[in-house]
Chains A and B, each alone.
Chain A
């Protein structure tokens, strides 16, 4: 591997200062499950690696019925799904957290890393879009919030600028009668990268007969995770059932613009876009009704 120096930053300001100074020569190290591989294989380079796991704000994991959920960017998956209260409140997020890598990857991999890697197939991304997450970003000029669906610029690229550090995610508290889910299609049952995935959230009327809100996002069918607002919008006001679900799935499929690669072909992905959307909606509806 190329030589680099290592800094374990103790505060947001310390990390942002190094990132601002070093620019592209500095790389953030969170769980390291992407960046260490990339550095080793020469796909990225760094003079300095900034470990952000010792920064308190990036390790926050707190929930408040009014403010919702705050997840520090450096919180690893095993902490997310290890929290029983969160697991009950955000089952969709748990779907993602328990799918990423195997158990050992989940011991390290973080939500911030998954988002900043910006793989179109990243398993947390459609879920975070469905859950309406906002990204808290710090720089020398202070902090700002970015809606997750506006965070991605292309495969492996985000809107973060020189000196920016992703600090945390903010997720609204779940609405009553709502449910979310994430499903991915992979040939094996574990340890695979999504061929197509779908993250959805739905909110039903009090009698659980009608959709009153829905967000649908797809993974691995476009250069970035694909938010399909029109698929969610099509559900609103519709009676809960197969007709509405299938219609939304077809809209999602129409929006998908996949490529063929070693993991799947474009036709396969197009086809699976509808299947995964439908299946994910079915789970989310079941959860909303529970």
Chain B
């Protein structure tokens, strides 16, 4: 076992300090050390997007980040999307039945948030391109894409 290192990072807006080995991925740290099991492991090699989180606002696969790299950074996971109310994306995913088994949902929500922050008015093609790194095997993507477009519209109306 290699030595554990102390890391401090802001996670979903909260200052946090944790111990981890350099070989532990950020995904592992979130799930096993910090008990934030919202990010899922679908592949552990960057291929599925189920582990998507925002690292300083940038969309990344947490399975391809070392926990120690989080030092001084800010991380947003699916657990950080809702305040007192659901985020429009979360609500639209529910209303549009954009999840079936739901294992891909946390990744899609985080990725969609990153998309809408960059591009509040995406076309269907832009949504599909941006989300191509997030695999869903249940829905055929139709309702996910519709939910993201609906959330974008709702957020534009509110802005």
- Chain B residues contacting A104 (CB-CB under 8 Å) are 46, 49, 52, 59-61, 111, 133-134
Contact with B along A35-47 (1 / 0, CB 8 A): 0110111000000
Q: Looking at the complex, which of A2-10, A126-134, A142-150 is the stretch in contact with chain B?
A: A2-10
Q: What is the CA–CA distance of A108 and B58 in the complex, to the nearest angstrom?
A: 9
Name the interface size band of chain B.
35 or more
Q: What is the CA–CA distance of A102 and B52 in the complex, to the nearest angstrom?
A: 11
- Chain A residues contacting B45 (CB-CB under 8 Å) are 37, 40-41
> Given B2, B44, B68, B133, which contacts A103 in the complex, CB threshold below 8 Å?
B133
Are B64 and A49 in contact, CB atoms less than 8 angstroms apart?
no
- Chain B residues contacting A33 (CB-CB under 8 Å) are 46, 61, 64
B67 to chain A: closest CB distance in Å? 10
Question: A83 near B: Cβ within 8 Å?
Answer: no
- Chain B residues contacting A31 (CB-CB under 8 Å) are 64
Interface size on A, residues (CB 8 A): 30
Q: What is the CA–CA distance of A105 and B52 in the complex, to the nearest angstrom?
A: 10
Question: B116 near A: Cβ within 8 Å?
Answer: no
| Nearest chain B residue, comparing its CB with the CB of A192 | B132
Question: B5 near A: Cβ within 8 Å?
Answer: yes
Given contacts A104-B111, A104-B133, A190-B132, are A6 and B66 in contact (CB under 8 A)? yes
A74 to chain B: closest CB distance in Å? 12
> Given B2, B44, B52, which contacts A4 in the complex, CB threshold below 8 Å?
B2
Are B22 and A191 in contact, CB atoms less than 8 angstroms apart?
no
Question: A101 near B: Cβ within 8 Å?
Answer: yes
- Chain B residues contacting A39 (CB-CB under 8 Å) are 23
Are B64 and A37 in contact, CB atoms less than 8 angstroms apart?
yes
- Chain A residues contacting B21 (CB-CB under 8 Å) are 3
| Nearest chain B residue, comparing its CB with the CB of A79 | B58
Given contacts A4-B23, A103-B111, A190-B132, are A29 and B66 in contact (CB under 8 A)? yes
- Chain A residues contacting B68 (CB-CB under 8 Å) are 6
Are A103 and B114 in contact, CB atoms less than 8 angstroms apart?
yes
- Chain A residues contacting B134 (CB-CB under 8 Å) are 102, 104
- Nearest 4 interchain pairs by C-beta: A102-B133, A190-B132, A3-B2, A6-B22
A: residues with CB less than 8 A from B are 1-6, 8, 29, 31-33, 36-37, 39-41, 49, 51, 76, 78, 101-105, 107-108, 189-191
Other than A32-B65, A103-B131, give 11 A-B pairs with Cβ distance below 8 A: A6-B22, A8-B71, A33-B61, A76-B58, A102-B49, A104-B49, A105-B61, A107-B55, A107-B60, A189-B132, A190-B132
